[in-house]
Amino acid sequence: MELFLENILNLVGFVVGLIIGTISYIGFRNTGSPTLFRLTLAFFSIGVGFFIMWAGQTLDIFVYKTGHVERWVQTLGIAVQTVGYFFIAFSHTIKSFFPKSNYLRSIGMVPLFLISFISIENIIRSISFILLAYGAIETILSYFASRRKTAILVAGGLWALAIGEFLGWYYFVFPQSILNVVSISTKIAGLIMLFIPVTKVPLTKIKFDENI
Protein backbone atom coordinates (compact mmCIF):
# COMPACT_ATOMS: atom_id res chain seq x y z
CA MET A 1 0.00 0.00 0.00
CA GLU A 2 2.81 2.40 0.90
CA LEU A 3 4.65 1.68 -2.35
CA PHE A 4 1.47 2.32 -4.31
CA LEU A 5 0.96 5.66 -2.53
CA GLU A 6 4.56 6.64 -3.23
CA ASN A 7 3.98 5.71 -6.86
CA ILE A 8 1.00 8.07 -7.11
CA LEU A 9 2.87 10.90 -5.39
CA ASN A 10 5.87 10.51 -7.71
CA LEU A 11 3.53 10.72 -10.69
CA VAL A 12 2.01 13.90 -9.24
CA GLY A 13 5.52 15.31 -8.70
CA PHE A 14 6.40 14.55 -12.32
CA VAL A 15 3.28 16.32 -13.61
CA VAL A 16 3.81 19.36 -11.36
CA GLY A 17 7.48 19.64 -12.35
CA LEU A 18 6.58 19.31 -16.01
CA ILE A 19 3.91 22.03 -15.78
CA ILE A 20 6.19 24.49 -13.96
CA GLY A 21 9.03 23.73 -16.37
CA THR A 22 6.74 24.42 -19.33
CA ILE A 23 5.56 27.72 -17.84
CA SER A 24 9.18 28.69 -17.12
CA TYR A 25 10.03 27.97 -20.74
CA ILE A 26 7.15 30.18 -21.90
CA GLY A 27 8.47 32.90 -19.61
CA PHE A 28 11.93 32.46 -21.12
CA ARG A 29 10.47 32.83 -24.61
CA ASN A 30 8.62 35.99 -23.56
CA THR A 31 11.42 37.68 -21.62
CA GLY A 32 14.65 36.17 -22.95
CA SER A 33 15.84 35.85 -19.35
CA PRO A 34 18.81 33.46 -18.93
CA THR A 35 17.58 32.81 -15.40
CA LEU A 36 14.24 31.59 -16.69
CA PHE A 37 16.12 29.27 -19.01
CA ARG A 38 18.00 27.85 -16.03
CA LEU A 39 14.72 27.52 -14.14
CA THR A 40 13.27 25.66 -17.11
CA LEU A 41 16.11 23.15 -16.90
CA ALA A 42 15.69 23.02 -13.12
CA PHE A 43 12.00 22.15 -13.04
CA PHE A 44 12.26 19.73 -15.95
CA SER A 45 15.11 17.97 -14.13
CA ILE A 46 13.08 17.74 -10.93
CA GLY A 47 10.11 16.39 -12.89
CA VAL A 48 12.27 13.82 -14.68
CA GLY A 49 13.65 12.72 -11.30
CA PHE A 50 10.11 12.05 -10.09
CA PHE A 51 9.39 10.23 -13.36
CA ILE A 52 12.39 7.91 -12.96
CA MET A 53 11.25 6.90 -9.48
CA TRP A 54 7.66 6.53 -10.65
CA ALA A 55 8.73 4.31 -13.56
CA GLY A 56 10.83 2.12 -11.27
CA GLN A 57 7.97 1.71 -8.81
CA THR A 58 5.46 1.03 -11.59
CA LEU A 59 7.63 -1.75 -13.00
CA ASP A 60 7.94 -3.30 -9.55
CA ILE A 61 4.19 -3.08 -8.82
CA PHE A 62 3.00 -4.57 -12.11
CA VAL A 63 5.97 -6.61 -13.39
CA TYR A 64 8.60 -7.65 -10.84
CA LYS A 65 6.32 -7.57 -7.75
CA THR A 66 9.19 -7.64 -5.25
CA GLY A 67 7.66 -5.03 -2.95
CA HIS A 68 10.66 -2.72 -3.16
CA VAL A 69 12.40 -0.61 -5.80
CA GLU A 70 16.01 -1.15 -6.83
CA ARG A 71 18.27 1.24 -4.95
CA TRP A 72 20.00 2.44 -8.13
CA VAL A 73 16.66 3.64 -9.52
CA GLN A 74 16.04 5.72 -6.41
CA THR A 75 19.59 7.09 -6.49
CA LEU A 76 19.36 8.00 -10.18
CA GLY A 77 16.06 9.83 -9.66
CA ILE A 78 17.42 11.82 -6.73
CA ALA A 79 20.62 12.63 -8.64
CA VAL A 80 18.63 14.06 -11.57
CA GLN A 81 16.58 16.15 -9.13
CA THR A 82 19.77 17.44 -7.55
CA VAL A 83 20.81 18.80 -10.94
CA GLY A 84 17.56 20.77 -10.89
CA TYR A 85 18.27 22.04 -7.38
CA PHE A 86 21.67 23.21 -8.60
CA PHE A 87 20.11 25.37 -11.30
CA ILE A 88 17.65 26.83 -8.78
CA ALA A 89 20.21 27.56 -6.07
CA PHE A 90 22.78 29.02 -8.45
CA SER A 91 20.35 31.28 -10.23
CA HIS A 92 21.18 34.85 -11.20
CA THR A 93 21.76 36.51 -7.82
CA ILE A 94 23.78 33.67 -6.24
CA LYS A 95 27.34 34.41 -7.23
CA SER A 96 29.29 31.70 -5.43
CA PHE A 97 28.82 28.54 -3.43
CA PHE A 98 29.95 29.99 -0.10
CA PRO A 99 28.60 33.41 0.89
CA LYS A 100 30.81 35.95 2.63
CA SER A 101 28.67 35.91 5.75
CA ASN A 102 29.93 33.47 8.38
CA TYR A 103 26.33 32.89 9.43
CA LEU A 104 25.31 31.77 5.95
CA ARG A 105 28.49 29.77 5.51
CA SER A 106 27.56 27.74 8.58
CA ILE A 107 24.59 26.26 6.71
CA GLY A 108 27.07 24.11 4.83
CA MET A 109 27.97 22.33 8.08
CA VAL A 110 24.45 21.00 8.65
CA PRO A 111 24.44 18.32 5.94
CA LEU A 112 27.72 16.89 7.26
CA PHE A 113 25.60 15.17 9.89
CA LEU A 114 23.60 13.55 7.11
CA ILE A 115 26.43 12.11 5.04
CA SER A 116 27.00 8.40 5.10
CA PHE A 117 29.86 7.41 2.83
CA ILE A 118 28.34 3.95 2.58
CA SER A 119 25.47 5.30 0.50
CA ILE A 120 25.89 7.52 -2.56
CA GLU A 121 22.24 8.48 -2.18
CA ASN A 122 22.88 10.01 1.24
CA ILE A 123 25.70 12.12 -0.19
CA ILE A 124 23.46 13.31 -3.03
CA ARG A 125 20.67 14.18 -0.59
CA SER A 126 23.17 16.12 1.52
CA ILE A 127 24.25 18.15 -1.52
CA SER A 128 20.60 18.78 -2.34
CA PHE A 129 19.97 20.03 1.19
CA ILE A 130 22.90 22.44 0.97
CA LEU A 131 21.76 23.85 -2.36
CA LEU A 132 18.13 24.27 -1.31
CA ALA A 133 18.84 25.72 2.14
CA TYR A 134 21.38 28.13 0.70
CA GLY A 135 18.98 29.24 -2.03
CA ALA A 136 16.20 29.71 0.55
CA ILE A 137 18.37 31.89 2.79
CA GLU A 138 19.53 34.01 -0.14
CA THR A 139 15.90 34.46 -1.19
CA ILE A 140 14.87 35.56 2.30
CA LEU A 141 17.66 38.13 2.25
CA SER A 142 16.44 39.38 -1.13
CA TYR A 143 12.97 39.80 0.38
CA PHE A 144 14.30 42.15 3.05
CA ALA A 145 15.97 44.17 0.30
CA SER A 146 13.07 44.26 -2.16
CA ARG A 147 9.98 43.46 -0.02
CA ARG A 148 8.54 41.41 -2.88
CA LYS A 149 5.88 39.03 -1.53
CA THR A 150 6.69 36.43 -4.17
CA ALA A 151 10.14 36.06 -2.59
CA ILE A 152 8.44 34.65 0.53
CA LEU A 153 6.73 31.96 -1.55
CA VAL A 154 10.00 31.12 -3.28
CA ALA A 155 11.84 30.83 0.04
CA GLY A 156 9.02 28.69 1.48
CA GLY A 157 9.09 26.43 -1.54
CA LEU A 158 12.84 25.95 -1.31
CA TRP A 159 12.63 25.20 2.41
CA ALA A 160 9.88 22.64 1.77
CA LEU A 161 12.08 20.93 -0.83
CA ALA A 162 15.00 20.96 1.61
CA ILE A 163 12.89 19.44 4.41
CA GLY A 164 11.65 16.82 1.95
CA GLU A 165 15.21 15.80 1.17
CA PHE A 166 16.04 15.66 4.89
CA LEU A 167 13.05 13.41 5.57
CA GLY A 168 14.04 11.25 2.61
CA TRP A 169 17.44 10.70 4.19
CA TYR A 170 15.87 9.94 7.56
CA TYR A 171 13.71 7.31 5.90
CA PHE A 172 16.79 5.12 5.65
CA VAL A 173 17.04 5.13 9.45
CA PHE A 174 13.43 3.99 9.79
CA PRO A 175 12.67 2.30 6.44
CA GLN A 176 9.39 0.80 7.65
CA SER A 177 7.87 4.19 8.44
CA ILE A 178 5.82 6.50 6.24
CA LEU A 179 8.61 9.07 6.15
CA ASN A 180 9.21 8.55 2.44
CA VAL A 181 5.55 9.35 1.71
CA VAL A 182 5.83 12.49 3.85
CA SER A 183 9.11 13.37 2.09
CA ILE A 184 7.60 13.15 -1.40
CA SER A 185 4.48 15.04 -0.28
CA THR A 186 6.60 17.84 1.22
CA LYS A 187 8.62 18.17 -1.99
CA ILE A 188 5.45 18.39 -4.06
CA ALA A 189 4.15 21.09 -1.70
CA GLY A 190 7.41 22.97 -2.25
CA LEU A 191 7.00 22.78 -6.01
CA ILE A 192 3.43 24.07 -5.75
CA MET A 193 4.65 27.03 -3.68
CA LEU A 194 7.17 27.82 -6.42
CA PHE A 195 4.43 27.48 -9.02
CA ILE A 196 2.70 30.74 -8.06
CA PRO A 197 5.67 33.11 -8.64
CA VAL A 198 6.59 31.33 -11.87
CA THR A 199 3.09 31.66 -13.35
CA LYS A 200 3.29 35.43 -13.06
CA VAL A 201 6.42 35.71 -15.17
CA PRO A 202 5.04 34.94 -18.66
CA LEU A 203 2.04 37.23 -18.09
CA THR A 204 3.79 40.25 -16.61
CA LYS A 205 7.21 39.78 -18.23
CA ILE A 206 8.86 40.38 -14.86
CA LYS A 207 12.09 38.45 -14.66
CA PHE A 208 12.35 35.84 -11.94
CA ASP A 209 15.98 36.89 -11.28
CA GLU A 210 15.03 39.42 -8.64
CA ASN A 211 13.17 36.91 -6.50
CA ILE A 212 15.81 34.21 -6.22
Domains, in order of start, for the chain: 2-211 (1.20.1070)
Per-residue pLDDT tens over the stretch 83-100: 999 888 776 444 333 344
Angle between helices 71-89 and 120-146 (to 10 degrees): 20
Q: What are phi and psi of 176, to 5 degrees?
A: -90, 5
CA 121-73-71 angle, to 5 degrees, is 55
Per-residue pLDDT tens over the stretch 151-197: 888 889 999 999 999 898 888 767 767 888 999 999 999 999 988 88
pTM of structure: 0.81
CA 127-195-197 angle, to 5 degrees, is 100
